[in-house]
Chain A
């Protein structure tokens, strides 16, 4: 049977996210409880988490999480990594035995800094990391980069998300942002790399939906050098954000207006200056528009952004309580861990919920 990456597998899902906007860290316990409540939105074929702020001892190192299916894959990949990076520390990612979790690959992590002479001319450290991630995923069979950002990590695999939380001992980590994903793929993805979140540098995406624009998005991204090896929407969305926000320095609100573009009828009602801008956005980035149902939570070390497709074809609820922003596919998943939030609302289609540390506030 073909595994994910070789085929495209539609999925339904549950997502959940918690962020402390003051940057105070808290354990993985809450996020596991929240995503576990939506057990029925997953089918045991994929679950995962992204956590930010979990590696305070190595805040400036790229934390590589890797899956290996064989000792040979590990050896080859490590030779490659050592060629490009100074590795400050590496080791097995701690796990515990969970009876239902089977066929787990070897999960290894590295805290790494690029070697200056490994950089191409004009290449930034981030770009080198992206290059390395693309190279490993495309060329080393049996190796898969799970995450590659600073002071963050992704933990995922085949199983229910709460099983993955237990397996990776997430209650032992403390972070200021946690996002989680429970997957309901129509087919078995066949391997752990296919689970979500999908990440690149410190971007992580958890996503519920099936975007019908995937083929168009993919081919646009490929022109900018991205190699889409997973064939998943989540991968495409992650790269879209990476292209717009990191590579092209597009402001966040414009990046959002690219992926969930306002309708022409709404653009017509904008001021002339805004019209020109949004028209240009849709003209130049039309191929990045995400069409079809989706709700996503984008995580990064700056904060989180939750977004629905412009027709709101997938559920998404947000809430705030003191310094904490909650986002989930279902209200119950928020009330499970925060029974009486100060504010709870369902964001409209195409209207982002943005939580940033710097601004210190939560914008609706």
Chain B
């Protein structure tokens, strides 16, 4: 074998004065970057194995550890960057597709950071959320054009709606791609704060049925774990067409991750690869999608809203409009920064468009077509904080999906190695030793705290704008101004430049 040209990405620095040789780091690092050298009676490290997940740093009792970027530099070259060169070394060694986890990390423009929010001054008072009610309740589902009211009574029921206390939901993450404890954390948090979590395409583990009213059950191309009871179990059903991190391609859960419980939940043999085809093999056009939407509605007696999740791609406005006409009650759009358990690197980093532009284009198109109220719009990929939520709603979203932020609340450090199954934080792994590192009760509390914290912040921002109900922010692009954007971008976003 020839020598590997790959060099470490990170440098593990151990302060020998501080290290007490407790070997906690050795036990904590599933990547086996730390090891005990019997001969020298020392803890040593193999830098090449480190993914910079901070697990050892957090757990080292004497704070002896620091992880740094590996100082080895290539000769400066603006075109051939270190990551580009290293990728070629890796491919030259393996001949394979480069895989990665989490969302696109390339320095594309982040439009959220070019949008600024409004506040009241003099002509209209701001509202103090501590003194006045501040309402965030949100309904997702098809809205009729009008109500029929007679003698003070509603004479025609409105279609089924998801009721959210805060316009935020936990986005789809399957059992298999993340651990059962991670899902339990999110499910319990969703119940606590009155929102939804989403099963992803991995089916619904038997322990999770009790969270049904806070669950969106997903039907994806692999149809894993889909059966009548499953469809009935949730508050809504989501058809997954695509996801922002890998539009146009399917999914692959390697056999090693398909243990007994995963196999039972997904209804596939233990140890077999779970392959989700790129397209649904019964959906090759919009009419086919419509058939699936109505099959699912039939199967659940029209009692549950049906969502269709798509990745933000170039022609998103027309696609979304078609989906609305195909009968979807909710359209979930995932931007190109959306996370994933595993995706080909080149796809993740180069396919799709930013969610901000996709959202603005879709909301505008649906309004032009006069069908915006027939569907709810949910956007994700990536919503990083409460200000992003507020901006998304002002652009026209009914609610947002968060996944990366939710995982970070559980301890994820964004090392982007979800695909390896060695998640040191017990999130993206099926290794029982690692899974039990995540206590679902503590996880639930942390994820619920995150939502509550954002809820407070959203209320504060709304109050500042003189708004006390989130529906008055929805699509209210006058509350936004752009900075550092071209005319064309402002146009697509439908916002004025700051100062105008």
Contact = CB atoms under 8 A, between A and B. Distances in A.
B401 to A, nearest CB: 20
A236 to B, nearest CB: 12
Q: Which of A274, A280, A293 lies at the interface centre, i.e. has the most chain B CB atoms within 10 A of its CB? A: A280
Interface stretch (B182-190, B238-246, B451-459, B475-483): B475-483
A278 to B, nearest CB: 9
B475 A212 contact: no
A209 B145 CA distance: 28
B125 A293 contact: yes
A287 B147 contact: no
B472 A212 contact: yes
Contacts of B372: 223
Interface stretch (B45-53, B65-73, B136-144): B136-144
B466 A277 contact: no
B475 A311 contact: no
Contact of B123 (A12, A214, A261): A12
A91 B248 CA distance: 67
A310 B472 CA distance: 13
Q: Which of A216, A223, A292, A293 lies at the interface centre, i.e. has the most chain B CB atoms within 10 A of its CB? A: A216
B475 A216 contact: yes
Contacts of A261: 469
A291 interface: yes
Dominant SS among interface residues on chain B: loop
Q: Which of A10, A215, A293, A310 lies at the interface centre, i.e. has the most chain B CB atoms within 10 A of its CB? A: A215
Interface in B109-139: 120, 123-125, 127, 132-133, 135, 137, 139
B466 A291 contact: yes
A286 B376 CA distance: 13
Interface in A229-252: 248, 250-251
A10 B149 contact: no
A286 B474 contact: yes
A253 to B, nearest CB: 8
Contact of B471 (A212, A250, A274, A282): A282
Nearest to B480: A215
A284 B147 contact: yes
Contacts of B125: 292-293, 313
B473 interface: yes
B146 interface: yes
Given A11-B123, A250-B146, A292 B466 contact: yes
Contacts of A214: 476, 478
Interface string A171-192: 0000000000000001000000
B3 to A, nearest CB: 62
B153 interface: yes
Nearest to A273: B153
B199 to A, nearest CB: 25
A359 to B, nearest CB: 16
Contacts of A273: 153
Contacts of A291: 466-469, 472
B78 interface: no
A332 interface: no
Interface in B439-495: 465-469, 471-479
B373 A223 contact: yes
B198 interface: no
Contacts of B373: 220, 223, 284, 287
Interface string A16-37: 0000000000000000000000
Contacts of A310: 468
A334 interface: no
Contact of B465 (A212, A251, A283): A212
Given A223-B367, A264-B137, A283-B158, A215 B475 contact: yes
A339 B137 CA distance: 46
Contacts of A254: 147, 149
Interface string A277-314: 10011111111011111000000000000000011010
B152 A277 contact: yes
Contact of A213 (B123, B146, B472): B472
A291 B474 CA distance: 12
Contacts of A10: 123-124
Nearest to B131: A311
A263 interface: yes
Contacts of A265: 133
A283 B160 CA distance: 11
A3 interface: no
Contact of A250 (B133, B147, B477, B478): B147
B146 A212 contact: no
A209 B475 contact: no
B370 interface: yes
Interface string A187-228: 000000000000000000000011111111101101110000
Nearest to B150: A251
A145 to B, nearest CB: 24
Contact of A216 (B146, B153, B154, B473): B473
Contact of A286 (B149, B158, B471): B471
B429 interface: no
Contact of B147 (A186, A216, A280, A293): A280
B330 to A, nearest CB: 14
Given A8-B478, A250-B146, A292-B466, A311 B472 contact: no
Interface in B345-383: 367, 370, 372-373
Contacts of B132: 311
A276 B468 contact: no
A216 B133 contact: no
A280 B158 contact: yes
A223 B371 CA distance: 8
Contacts of A11: 123
A292 B125 CA distance: 7
A223 B469 contact: no
A290 B154 CA distance: 22
Contacts of A313: 124-125
B161 interface: yes
A102 B416 CA distance: 69
Contacts of A280: 147, 154, 158
B475 A220 contact: yes
A78 B436 CA distance: 80
B152 A216 contact: no
Contact of B135 (A219, A222, A264): A264
Interface in A88-107: none
A224 B144 CA distance: 13
Nearest to A255: B149
Given A263-B133, A280-B158, A216 B149 contact: no
A311 B124 contact: no
A253 B153 CA distance: 12
28 contacts: A11-B123, A211-B124, A212-B467, A213-B472, A214-B478, A215-B477, A216-B475, A217-B472, A219-B367, A220-B373, A250-B147, A251-B149, A253-B152, A265-B133, A274-B152, A281-B147, A282-B137, A282-B471, A283-B143, A284-B143, A284-B147, A285-B147, A287-B471, A287-B472, A290-B472, A291-B472, A292-B120, A292-B466
The list of the 5 closest CB pairs from A to B, nearest first, reads A286-B471, A213-B472, A215-B478, A215-B476, A291-B472
Given A220-B475, A287-B472, 16 more contacts: A186-B123, A211-B124, A212-B466, A215-B394, A216-B472, A216-B473, A220-B373, A222-B367, A224-B145, A251-B152, A277-B152, A280-B147, A286-B474, A287-B475, A291-B468, A310-B468
Interface of B: 120, 123-125, 127, 132-133, 135, 137, 139, 143-147, 149, 152-154, 158, 161, 367, 370, 372-373, 394, 465-469, 471-479
Interface of A: 8, 10-12, 186, 209-217, 219-220, 222-224, 248, 250-251, 253-254, 261, 263-265, 273-274, 276-277, 280-287, 289-293, 310-311, 313
